[in-house]
Amino acid sequence: MKKYISVIVVAFFFLIWEIAARLNILDTQFIPAFSTVIKETLAMAASGDLFKHIFASLLRLFFGIGLAVLISLPLGFLLAGWTPRLSAFLNPLFTNLSMANPFTLIPVFMLLLGMGEVSKIGIIFWVTLWPALFSAISGVRQIDPVVLKAARAMGASGVKIFFAIILPGSVNRIFTGVKSSVTLGFTVLMGAEMIGSKAGLGFIIFTSNKNYNIPKLYVGILMIAITGALVNLLIEKMQKSIVVWEENVDRIM
């Protein structure tokens, strides 16, 4: 039911957009009609260009976010579980670092990592690291101490505690963090792909803007939104299929 509602809402939005453009409520020079954007999208799809760009962006996001998750999980577990004092000490630092505007950091990444793929992936990594790290830390923290007590009372320790308690106890929170990471990753994509790239959804936006190709600019925006939503949906599906033990919150009013 919820799903249908959101589909209807999105469809309605596009409809309003189209009508507003046709009635000249919108200045189509800056905001072309929805149908114009779709036409441009189809043209790019037909030439195969569109998929090249989507693929290039997805690959960068995959490596950037993958690396962020790969590093943040063990780091988060370590900070929350084994060295809570160190974590309390580092937390303000992490919070500050995470709040640095990623777009202002782009020149720094270019200087340090050059103009190639490394700096693009580096920016995505940097931005998506924080939500993943914070969710791993808070995921461990919110585990019910009583459950941990029960496991310990039976003599469980070390590896068993990790795999039987810590991991399943924090996985839901971690998924939520990764979803924020993905959203942020797509947001920063444009900035990352400004630097000497030849393909990518952010690249489309950047070059279309420069060349004043407005419909194409909107193709980029639309595609970032759509691919981002699809990737998030995929992760949500994964989360639901793994975390089967929680009461469905949708039921609670």
Partner 1 sequence: MPNKIELNNISQAYYIKSSETNKKVKFYALKDFTLSVSDGEFVVVVGPSGCGKSTLLDILSGLFKANSGSIAIDGQIVNGPALDRGFVMQSYALFPWRTIKKNVEFGLELKKIPKKERGEISASFIELVGLHGYENRYPYELSGGMKQRVAIARALAYDPKVLLMDEPFAAVDAQTREKLQDELVSIWQKTNKTIIFVTHSIEEAVTLADRVVVMTENPGTIKEIVPINLPRPRISVEAGISEAYSAFVSRIWGLLHNAEESFESARL
Query: Which spans of this chain sit near partner 1 (rule: CB under 8 A)?
Result: 144, 146-147, 149-156, 160, 164-165, 168-169, 243-247
Residue among 2 and 149 whose Cβ is closer to partner 1: 149
CB of 220 to partner 1, least distance (A): 41
What's the burial of 232, exposed, middle or buried (CB within 10 Å: 0-12/13-18/19+)? middle
C-alpha 106/C-alpha 119 separation (Å) is: 8
Closest to partner 1 by CB, 83 or 157: 157
Task: Output the smallest distance, CB 238 to partner 1, in A.
Answer: 16
Cα Rg, the chain, nearest whole Å = 22
When the beta carbons of 85 and 149 are compared against partner 1, the nearer one is 149
User: At closest approach, how far in Å is the CB of 171 from partner 1?
Assistant: 8
Helix, coil or strand: residue 31: coil
Reading the block at residue 64, the tokens are 């950037």
| Residue closer to partner 1 (CB basis): 147 or 233 | 147
| Distance of alpha carbon 235 from alpha carbon 253, whole angstroms | 25
Q: Output the smallest distance, CB 229 to partner 1, in A.
A: 28
Whichever of 111 and 146 has its CB closer to partner 1, that residue is: 146
Phi, psi of 213 (to 5 degrees): -95, 85
At residue 198, the 3 state secondary structure works out as coil
CB of 154 to partner 1, least distance (A): 5
Residue of 191, 208, 213 whose CA lies nearest to 105: 191
